[in-house]
Amino acid sequence: MNVQEAMDKLKQNGYKYTDKRKDMLQLFSDESRYLAAKDVLEHMQDTYEGMSFDTIYRNLSLFTELHILEATELEGEKRFRFSCSTDHHHHHVICLDCGKTKHIHHCPMNDTPGAPGFQVTGHKFEIYGYCEQCSMKKDSAVR
């Protein structure tokens, strides 16, 4: 997924091409990590002074619907990242500080026996912690 593909997808589904949408997508493309709505807002307001919550949230959920972004819920906030690649199911190791991720290629669903009668609609496997940079930052902050 890249910005152009994402914009094309919007077009295909009858949505409009706006600079704000492009900039939002560019942000997610540049930062390949999970961002909270407020991170997006802050970044966008550098360029578009009066940009409203509404626009941010509406577009974030639109992008998620179209599978341009993937979302997870972390520490009471929804967070979003550019959809990695649509062709390969995977999970994430997530840095709780900066939101950076590593891939986990192995999916535990393969090893988990189905529960009879239970209709499965989704699953979540995530590993949390601190990436090398952020854990060094934390260490030095303590001293």
Pick one of 13, 89, 108, 137: the residue that binds its own copies (CB under 8 A).
Answer: 108
Pick one of 7, 20, 41, 130: the residue that binds its own copies (CB under 8 A).
Answer: 130
98 in contact with its own copies (CB under 8 A): no
Using CA atoms, how far apart are residues 88 and 93, in angstroms rounded to an integer?
A: 16
Given the complex with DNA, which of 75 and 87 has the nearer CB atom? Answer: 75
* Cβ pair 67, 120 in contact under 8 A: no
Using CA atoms, how far apart are residues 100 and 31, in angstroms rounded to an integer?
A: 9
* Cβ pair 67, 86 in contact under 8 A: yes
Given the complex with DNA, which of 12 and 140 has the nearer CB atom? Answer: 12
Pick one of 2, 52, 112, 135: the residue that binds DNA (CB under 7 A).
Answer: 52
